[in-house]
A = this chain, B = another copy of it.
Amino acid sequence: MKGILIIADGLGGRPSDLAGETCLEAATTPNLDRLAERGAIGLVDPIGPGTRPGSDTAHLSLLGYNPYEVYTGRGVFECLGIGLDVKKGDVCFRVNFASVEESNEGLRVVDRRAGRIETGQKELEAALSKIKLTDVKGVEVYFRASTEHRGALLLRGEGLSPWIGETDPHETGVPIVRSVPLDRSDPAAERTAAAVNELTRQSYEILTGLEINRKRIAAGKPPANVILLRGSSELPHLQPLSSIYGVHGAVIAGGALYRGIALACGMEPIEVEGATGGLDTDLSAKAAAALAALDRYDYVFVHVKGTDNAGHDKDAQAKRAFIERIDRELIGPLVGPVEEGRIHIAFTGDHTTPIDFGDHTDEPVPVLFAGPNVLTDEARRFSERAAGQGGLGRFSGRVLPILLGYCNWSPKFGS
């Protein structure tokens, strides 16, 4: 029996979202409601009750890991997700292109996202391949651009440490932060911070004179003339899912972070044209790709990001509309295979992103399982409140292991 796990990022909400209803409650979701009726629902605390999750820690927990034990930081997942080959000892970062101007305090940040640049990322990436550290010897720098202002970077060399401070000041009008070792008695952290500061300076020198930035300035746009680093981290120790369950999974995710987490857990990536990691993603293509992939894989993890984007943008109508698209274009094609008893499905979110708050909160998230081995409950629809009355009660994390359990792939603990 095969399985599909779908995580709709930031799915859950609060009563304040839409006239006393959450976006999920306000959305018309006949396919999710039908699966709720044919399956069972409940509440999942992505990490644990009263713990406000990051996207990375929540996914680790939902995939069955203890994030308090294994989490090393976000940068490494961004690097993996973007296609960089991360090895033990590398130090990884997530990166923003930003706009800075010279001042007597140093490089002052004008825009942390360089106007969310739309094009030219490959040109910027190519230019940054010229970075060669000279003050710090024996450290190589690998950078890849991603969507808009985003990218990932890793340092490779002997004697590096992820225990350093980031350079992103998280506000504008202030200088770039100098990276510092978190422990001043650690020469590896000292060396890594020095490498970060040197590559930051070189990035400014390289990017400032580029044609693309001259054009941006001429067009009144902020130049992408420096990179800001955060999420310093090394490769986490994650037992591959295939070695735990003896089955093989694949990931379909537009966002680099989610693909990176799944790769770190041992899933294989499936590229889907039109999967953007945004509200404009092609959900029908994802559904078709997931079903097709079950010929080659035992399970598929599909991540959709738009729900979270709309939540961060505090746009209730966009979130509701995207949930309706998920129901129609992504869930719709899966109802048949579930009802025919051919697959199991799990659907949930990695956290709540209520409209009023515009960021993750710690409330539990509704979760749905359906398929031939799922005992049905009394649920007739899928929503936060319905899930509070659901037959699966409330539990923490581990949605993928539960799905694989329904598929009869759980390893026995004990004898």
CB within 8 Å of B: which residues of A? 14-16, 22, 40, 42-43, 45, 47-58, 64, 67, 71, 73-74, 231, 354, 357, 359-364, 372-378, 384-385, 388-402, 404-405, 408, 410-415
Asked if residues B401 and A392 are in contact (CB atoms below 8 Å), the reply is no
Copies assembled: 2
State in angstroms the CA–CA spacing of A58 and B388 once bound together: 25
Contact of A15 among B45, B52, B71, B375 (CB under 8 A): B375
Asked if residues A388 and B384 are in contact (CB atoms below 8 Å), the reply is no
Closest to A386 in B: B391
Asked if residues A388 and B40 are in contact (CB atoms below 8 Å), the reply is yes
Asked if residues B56 and A415 are in contact (CB atoms below 8 Å), the reply is yes
Within 8 Å CB of A393, what residues of B? 42-43, 364, 388, 393-394
State in angstroms the CA–CA spacing of A390 and B45 once bound together: 16
Asked if residues A51 and B401 are in contact (CB atoms below 8 Å), the reply is yes
Asked if residues A402 and B50 are in contact (CB atoms below 8 Å), the reply is yes
Asked if residues B375 and A405 are in contact (CB atoms below 8 Å), the reply is no
- Evaluate whether A362 and B410 lie within 8 angstroms (CB atoms) in the complex, with A22-B375, A388-B375 already known: yes
State in angstroms the CA–CA spacing of A50 and B378 once bound together: 22
Closest to A77 in B: B415
- Evaluate whether A414 and B55 lie within 8 angstroms (CB atoms) in the complex, with A375-B14, A378-B389, A394-B393 already known: yes
Closest to A360 in B: B412
Interface centre among A42, A55, A412, A414 (most CB of B within 10 A): A414
Asked if residues B54 and A413 are in contact (CB atoms below 8 Å), the reply is yes
Q: Which 4 A-B pairs have the closest CB atoms?
A: A54-B414, A57-B414, A393-B394, A388-B391
State in angstroms the CA–CA spacing of A43 and B412 once bound together: 20
Within 8 Å CB of A16, what residues of B? 372-373
Contact of A361 among B40, B53, B357, B408 (CB under 8 A): B408
Interface centre among A388, A404, A405 (most CB of B within 10 A): A388
Asked if residues B415 and A55 are in contact (CB atoms below 8 Å), the reply is yes
Asked if residues B392 and A388 are in contact (CB atoms below 8 Å), the reply is yes
A398 CB to closest chain B CB (Å) equals 4
